[in-house]
Amino acid sequence: MLWVGTSWKMNGTRAFAADYAQKLHDADLAPIVEAGIQPFIIPSFTAIDVAAGILTDSSPVIVGAQNAHWEEKGAWTGEVSMVQAKDAGAKIIEMGHSERRQYFGETDETVNLKVKAALREGLIPLVCFGESAEVFEAGETVEFITSQIDAALDGVVDTSRVILAYEPIWAIGEHGRPPEREDLARTFSVLADRYVGRVQAILYGGSVNHDNIKDILGIEGVGGLFIGRSAWTPEGYLKNLELAAETLH
Ligand code: PGA
């Protein structure tokens, strides 16, 4: 199974979400599913229920949340718990994205607490990790990311539902550049050796677009994609799904 999904980051009103979800709902996703792809979308908190209300269990598209707190409830102003995210319709919980690590104090420890909390609620933790340009240039990528992953999974007895997403910081967003195929292949061969069989899938994210998607999916060990900008329109995302399905035929 290939997981191909998108986080909208801090974009989209509820009307946007309704339109996007409706277009996915109306699209013929049978060939995508038959090819072995699991689609997922991760809107902002305010739009989870809108998307999940349209993409019900009869749709193959799973809806997720971009974050959730590890405690069930309490005095945590501004936070949303796993229980609340699930109540809104989320089935996947993203955590550890570099933007949250950089701007919102996410750490390996809080990611670990969130992995455990998500699993307790029957949710799928989607753990993002990735190195900075400095770490990459120093040739220390593998040490850095395996330490992030091992910290995230520390003390988790059954990691089989966890999804990992390798997102090099230098490859993400407007100023990002896609990695060279050889670099990505080298990193994924280590990730595959260490984590395939232990986790549900290992995804790649960072400047994935319609031109490079097939190449990236051709790399051994890549178990799916976590896409930003090129999936921020329903048409863009559907095209990604279609191209991904073609690689599986
Ligand atoms: P991008 O975002 O595809 O726009 O580079 C990737 C991400 O941050 O997950």
CA distances from 129 to 74, 111, 164, 169, 172 (A): 28, 10, 8, 9, 12
Q: Which of 167, 182, 210, 242 is catalytic?
A: 167
> 69: which 2 tokens?
């707190």
Q: What total of structural domains would you count in the chain?
A: 1
- How far apart CA 1 and CA 162 sit, in angstroms, is 14
Length reported for the chain: 249
40 lines ligand 1 (CB under 6 A): no
- How far apart CA 165 and CA 225 sit, in angstroms, is 8
Mutating to test ligand 1, I would choose from 10, 167, 170 the residue with most ligand atoms within 8 A of its C-beta, which is 167
Tell me the helices (H) and strands (E) count for the chain, helix number first.
11, 8
Among 96, 88, 30, 36, smallest CA distance to 63 is for 88
- pLDDT of 191 reads 98
Other residues' Cβ atoms within 10 Å of the Cβ of residue 169: 21
SS3 state at 42: strand
- pLDDT of 198 reads 97
DSSP code for 202: E
Which residues constitute the domain of residue 157? 2-246
Q: Is the CB of residue 195 less than 8 Å from the CB of residue 164?
A: yes
CATH number reported for the structural domain that contains residue 21 in this entry: 3.20.20.70
- How far apart CA 2 and CA 19 sit, in angstroms, is 25
pLDDT digits (tens), the chain, 249 positions? 999 999 999 999 999 999 999 999 999 999 999 999 999 999 999 999 999 999 999 999 999 999 999 999 999 999 999 999 999 999 999 999 999 999 999 999 999 999 999 999 999 999 999 999 999 999 999 999 999 999 999 999 999 999 999 999 999 999 999 999 999 999 999 999 999 999 999 999 999 999 999 999 999 999 999 999 999 999 999 999 999 999 997
208 lines ligand 1 (CB under 6 A): yes
- How far apart CA 169 and CA 89 sit, in angstroms, is 29
The reply to whether the predicted model has a pTM over 0.85 is yes
- pLDDT of 114 reads 98
CA dihedral for 240, 2, 55, 42, sign (positive or negative): negative
- How far apart CA 161 and CA 142 sit, in angstroms, is 23
Give the distance (Å) from ligand 1 centre to CA of residue 157.
Answer: 30
- How far apart CA 206 and CA 5 sit, in angstroms, is 12
Give the distance (Å) from ligand 1 centre to CA of residue 231.
Answer: 9
Q: Which of 69, 97, 106, 131 is catalytic?
A: 97
207 lines ligand 1 (CB under 6 A): yes
